[in-house]
Each structure stands twice: as C-alpha cells, then as structure tokens.
Structure 1
C-alpha cells in the first residue's frame, strides 16, 4: 500500500512539473547568467546514453524511507524539476536582484533573490559555476500557492567540479491541498 502512495505522490509531483510553460530562448542581445536549460538537456541526453546506476531514496512523513537502485531512469523527466528555476529567460530578469561573488578557486557564486512584489515561483536561486563555465552546485527555493494549493520545495543539484556532470540531487518539500493534510517529503538521488 505504501508503494502505491509513493507512486501516486511522484505522479502528482511530475504532473505539477509537466504543466510548466515551455522555456523561451534567451535573445542574443542579452547575456544569461547561466544556460541552465541547455545544461540540463545536455545532461539528460548524456545520462540517457550512459545509463548510470542511481541510488534513489524517497521519504514521506511518518513512513519508512524507500530506496531503490536502478539504471532505468527517464532523465528528461527526472531533471525537469530543475528547469523551472532557470532564470535566464528575459521575462524574469526584472523580478530578481542578482549578487555575484568570485571564490579564491575562480568559481563564481551567483545569488538571485526575488523582489518582494514579484509574482514568480522561484524565491531564491544560488548557482556555483566553475571558471570553465561548468555547473558545480545549484540550490533553489520554489514557492507556489493559491487558494487550493500550497507547495514549497528546496531543490539541490550537485555536479562533479571538473566535468560539470550531475552527481546527485535532492528535493525537499511540503505540499498541502486545501482539504487535506500537509505532506512533507524528501527525494535523494546519487549517481
């Protein structure tokens, strides 16, 4: 019975992500902070071809952690949750304050904070990019709410510092429907 609850929850999470609008391309006249969508598409293609073994754990409140190890993963769907935090779209630029810092090793940390009056779901995005423009770390907080639904997620993606290849990710969150209890969950995946 617990397995069906997890499958139902993952289907609901996937359906929420699938309802996202397509990402428009960045115009040539504007430099994007980082082409996250392009990176994720490239990683999905690479992972689909390589089929690495993945250790994936799902934990929902008051339930034991379910862990599987598999190489049968639809990477486009698996990484799609990270595409919604791509702030390189020109329409989103005005909603965020950007701060950038260069680390002693040459990597750059860019922090995007949503303006208080902005109507965008991404509250905060932190990107760490190597001097060679390889993603090293992504962390974002996504908040979506209306009269029927509340969802807050903290998503984290880590990559190998030399290659930029995805090495793992985590999704932690809570969601609540108006007529239901809150559901706290955590998904961890390590390649």
Structure 2
C-alpha cells in the first residue's frame, strides 16, 4: 500500500506542468528570438582600436552576433527588485537602482504606434579587481525588421593596459 501511494505521488508530480517563468520586465528575450528567426544579410563595419574593416553583404548567424543583446534580458529571478521602472507611454525603460551591482545598467526600448520596438539601447558594464568592461548596444527596427545594430565598448586589464576599444555596426541589406 505504501509503495502504491509513493508511486501515485510521483506519477502526479510528473504529470503536472511546470509554470511559465515569471516575467517582471519587458520580455526582450522573446522579442530578440522573433527578430533573429529569419536569416539576415548585413554590411558590417568592425573597428578595433582605430583600425576599420568593412565586410560587404555577409549573412550572419544572428544567435552569435546578437548574443550580447540577449545578455540584456532582465527577467532573471535575482533581478526582480534591482531596477527602477521609468517607463512611459511608448517607452520601456529600466535603470539599475543605486547600490545594486548587476551588469545591465540601463535598458531602454522605444515602441512604435503598434507597440513594437523601434529603437533599443542598453548599457552593460562590469568590473572587478582585474578588469573592467563597458558596452553600449543599440538596434534600430522598422515594422518588426532590424534596420541596423551597433555594439561598441571597451575592455581593459585594470593596471596593465590601456582600454581596447571596439565597435561592430551592421546595416541590414533587404
């Protein structure tokens, strides 16, 4: 009888569906997955410490190219109380509260008249005793399609080097 009860208990546990993850903030990860679902060819400009390279018409792996944009997703349980909601009509904006130490410093999405993202801007930075990094990510979107994106920033070992500055700009070719 006890074995049967235990078996029924575990069977019921296995059959229950897991709840959807709680979304405290704008669901940027869902939006980014939708934007990156179709292949995209871009004209790419890469700048590293002043040296520029232009790559014409390259089809990019958007999951890899936009990995840093995914880093800006705020819907992690530990982040739930760490940001001030400064959103207004047509603008989704979160800013890291004073005293908090999380990588995403600011999160800003301007929405078009249909409630879709039109301009996205994130500031991400982190530092410790060894290094410091800062990144600014922007994306321009028109009618649900990416027009351009920029990833720029710097990184440095604290006492051993001058900062390495970089920028990647992609302009969609439709």
TM-score normalised by L of structure 1: 0.73
Taking only aligned residues, the RMSD between alpha carbons, in angstroms, comes to 1.7
Match of 2:109 among 127, 143, 148: 127
TM-score normalised by L of structure 2: 0.79
Q: Say if 2:174 is the partner of 1:189.
A: no
Question: Shift of residue 38 of structure 1?
Answer: 1.1
Counterpart contact for 1:55–1:189, Cα < 8 Å: yes
Question: Shift of residue 172 of structure 1?
Answer: 1.6
Q: Which structure: greater strand fraction?
A: 2
- Provide Cα deviations, 1:81-128, integer angstroms capped at 9, x if missing partner: 1111112334312111011222xxxxx112211111112111111111
Counterpart contact for 2:43–2:170, Cα < 8 Å: yes
Structure of higher CA gyration radius: 2
Cα separation, 2, equivalents of 1:144 and 1:67: 29
Q: Whose RCO is larger (CA < 8 A, sep 6+)?
A: 2
Query: What stretches of structure 1 move > 6 A for 4+ residues in a row?
Result: none
Q: Which structure: greater helix fraction?
A: 1
Counterpart contact for 2:150–2:169, Cα < 8 Å: yes
